[in-house]
Amino acid sequence: MQSTELSKQRIIQLYIQLVTQQELRESKLTARMAEEMQKLESEMGMKLNLTLSEIHFIACIGDHGPINVTTISEKVNLTKGSITRISKKLWKLELIKRQQLVDNKKEVYYRLTAKGQKLYKIHHQLHQDIEQRFKSFLDKYTPEQLAFSRELLEDLLNWDF
């Protein structure tokens, strides 16, 4: 019984360590993205000053475009008002373009411009690099260990303090 409690305590300590370490990793990723953004800004001759939500908005259009406000809102988990505000900024920066379908003049759809496509590719490549490194890390585990890990992570996502 005591070893179970010690194991639980150690898991809690490791979880706290993981969260802290994740913050450091996110800082590194943000710095890497900022470096790539500076290169792109230099190439475009303009300052972008994009937030993470704006970058994910661009990624959503790149993955699913042409796409409307409602679908973007659902996919990136932002309000329609936020989507409208972000779209205006990205349109002014010439990263996205608006279009209406011939049979539906009421609804606006978004596509990436050539500039937006460049930014999308940078972001997409960063995600692919991270995913590949993570998959390589997971290679050392058995299918049973991976199944348990997946179940644990799903439970953690659904757990409410």
> Tens of pLDDT along 53-83?
899 999 999 999 899 999 999 999 999 899 9
Domains held by the chain: number: 1
Q: Give pLDDT, residue 141.
A: 97
In a domain, 27, yes or no: no
Residue 123, token pair as written in the block: 């972001």
The DSSP call for residue 79 is -
Return the percentage of the chain with pLDDT > 90, whole number. 57
pLDDT tens profile 12-31: 999 899 989 988 888 888 88
- For residue 48, what pLDDT band results from cuts at 50, 70 and 90? confident
Residue whose C-alpha is closest to residue 55's, from 130, 116, 115: 116
In a domain, 35, yes or no: no
Look up the CATH number of the domain holding residue 109: 1.10.10.10
Alpha helices in 45-142 (DSSP H): 52-64, 69-76, 80-92, 114-138
- The enclosing H or E element of 100 equals strand 96-101
The average confidence (pLDDT) of the chain is 90
- pLDDT of 139 above 90: yes
Q: Which domain holds residue 99?
A: 47-158
Please name the residue that has the structure tokens 């998959």: 135
In a domain, 69, yes or no: yes
Q: How far apart are CA 119 and CA 115, in angstroms?
A: 7
> How would you class 60 by CB atoms within 10 Å of its CB: exposed for 0-12, middle for 13-18, buried for 19 or more?
buried
Sign of CA dihedral 130, 132, 138, 144: positive
- pLDDT of 1 above 90: no
In a domain, 25, yes or no: no
Q: Helix, strand or coil for residue 60?
A: helix
pLDDT tens profile 92-111: 999 999 998 777 778 889 99
CB–CB of 87/96 below 8 Å? yes
- For residue 144, what pLDDT band results from cuts at 50, 70 and 90? very high
In a domain, 131, yes or no: yes
In a domain, 147, yes or no: yes
Residue 14, token pair as written in the block: 């490791």
- pLDDT of 159 above 70: yes
Q: How far apart are CA 109 and CA 94, in angstroms?
A: 15
